[in-house]
Amino acid sequence: MRSALSALELLEPRSLSHALALLRDAAPVVPLAGGTDVYVLLNAGTPSGTRYLNLQRLDGLRGIARRNGVISIGALTTFAEIRRSALLARRLPSLVAAAREVGAVQVQNRATIGGNVANGSPAGDSLPVLAASDAVVVLRSADGVRRVPFDGFYTGYRQTVMRPDELIVAFEVPPVPGRQWFRKVGTRAAQTISKVVLAAVRAPEPRVAFGSVAPTVVRARRTESVLASGGTLNEAAAALMTEIAPIDDLRSTAEYRRRVAANLLRQFWTETA
């Protein structure tokens, strides 16, 4: 542990309104959900702050429910809970598939979907699924609620429209028409960060969202319209190349990511034909 623990402060709100008040009044405060990203930074000695807001007691932020056809997933829902959800298995199987591949079981027991999205890594495995399913991010502050379409949530590498006094409270997912498809490509079979990840939907209006190939998750609209208008797979892959901007990093190369992104697109399209 490279961070000084004695310098840290943990705020323990008992209700959502208490938490939101603390966020407003005690800034800067770092929300703490499952801690699986927060603790990695603490261990490395690069913490995001010294004052943390423990969300664990905010039970209102947990759970998966369906209201008026829309599925609401609380921000504190863990990937283990997502894996076990019968509702999601029926309605949003690609989120279940993604949850199954986050880290491994121990991490899934702690890691929350809200943390995955708020952390904002372009390799976050739930992000392409939320992007492809036209999810809405429900944000709350002491001032009230706002709903942001997932596609507009990120503004740049690890940048979001969320304000420091806001929390993600839930994600709302409208019905997804068509067949869902998900595949993660990491450096090994488990405990791995994505090198390329694709969540897609086969429908008259196909949806394609990639992770790990640009500073943010990419909803590949041009690729989608080529596919929707009956273009060939080669044309779709060519369109995709204009929409992604992968880089060389510790885990892979830009060239690999480009090729595999195109291959995944082909695999998705062939398998869902």
Partner 1 sequence: MPTVGRSLPRRDGRDKVTGAAKYIDDLALPGMLHGRTIRSSIPCGRIRSVSLLSDPAGFTVVDYRNIPGRNVVALIGDDQPCLAEHVVRHVAEPILLLAHADRERLLAADVDVQYEPSEPLFDPLRSPKVFKSIAMRKGDVDAGFAEADEIVEGEYRVGHQEHAYIEPNGVIAVPADGGVTVYGSLQCPYYVQKALRAVLDLPADRVRVVQAETGGGFGGKEEYPSIVAAHACLLALESGRPVKLVYDRAEDMLATTKRHPGVIRTRTGVTRDGRLTAIDVDVVLDGGAYMTLSPVVLSRGVIHATGPYRCDNVRVRGRVVMTNTPPNGAFRGFGAPQTQFASEVHMERVAERLGMDPVRLREINALRPGDTTATGQVLGRDVSALAVLRDAVERTDFKRRRRELRGTGRGLGLALFFHGAGFTGAGEMKLASKASLELTERGARVLASSADIGQGSRTVHAQIVAEALGLPFDAIEIARADTAVVPDSGPTVASRTSMIVGGLLRRCADDMKQALGGLTPKEYLKRRGPLVVTRQYEPPTSAAFDEETYTGDAYGTYAWACDVAEVELDPVTYEIRPVRITAVQEVGKALNPVLAAGQIEGGTAQGVGYALLEEVVMRDGRMANAQLTNYAVPTTMDTPRIDVVIHERPYRHGPYGAKGLGELPLDGVAPAIANAVRHLGIDVRAIPMTPERVMEAETGERKKVGSKK
Quote the CA–CA distance of 198 and 236 in Å, as a whole number.
15
- Which listed option, ligand FAD, partner 1, none, makes contact with residue 2 (CB within 5 to 8 Å by class)? partner 1
- Classify the C-alpha dihedral 148-58-15-55 as positive or negative: negative
Name which of residues 19 to 58 contact ligand FAD (CB under 6 A): 30-38, 40, 48, 55
- Three-state DSSP state, 151: helix
Cβ distance to partner 1 smaller for residue 86 or 189: 189
Q: Which amino acid is at 270?
A: T
- Three-state DSSP state, 241: helix
Q: Which of 28, 45, 149, 164 binds partner 1 (CB under 8 A)?
A: 45
- Which listed option, ligand FAD, partner 1, none, makes contact with residue 252 (CB within 5 to 8 Å by class)? partner 1
Decide the pairing of beta strands 51-54 and 9-11: parallel
The verdict on 109 binding partner 1 (CB under 8 A) reads no
Tokens of 167: 């929390």
Count of residues binding partner 1 (CB under 8 A)?
30
For the CB of residue 106, give the shortest distance to ligand FAD in the complex, in Å: 8
Adjacent-strand bridge partners of 186: 194
Q: Where are the alpha helices (DSSP H) in 85-198?
A: 86-91, 93-100, 105-110, 113-119, 127-132
Cβ distance to partner 1 smaller for residue 242 or 253: 253
For the CB of residue 192, give the shortest distance to partner 1 in the complex, in Å: 7
The verdict on 16 binding ligand FAD (CB under 6 A) reads no
Helix 233-243, helix 254-271: angle, nearest 10: 140
Q: How far apart are the first and last CA of the chain?
A: 50
For the CB of residue 5, give the shortest distance to partner 1 in the complex, in Å: 7
- Which listed option, partner 1, ligand FAD, none, makes contact with residue 246 (CB within 5 to 8 Å by class)? none
- Among all chains, which residue has been given the structure tokens 């609401």? 72
For the CB of residue 74, give the shortest distance to ligand FAD in the complex, in Å: 9
Name which of residues 1 to 40 contact partner 1 (CB under 8 A): 1-2, 4-7
Residues that bind partner 1 (CB under 8 A): 1-2, 4-7, 43-45, 104, 185, 187-193, 250-253, 255-256, 259-260, 263-264, 266-267
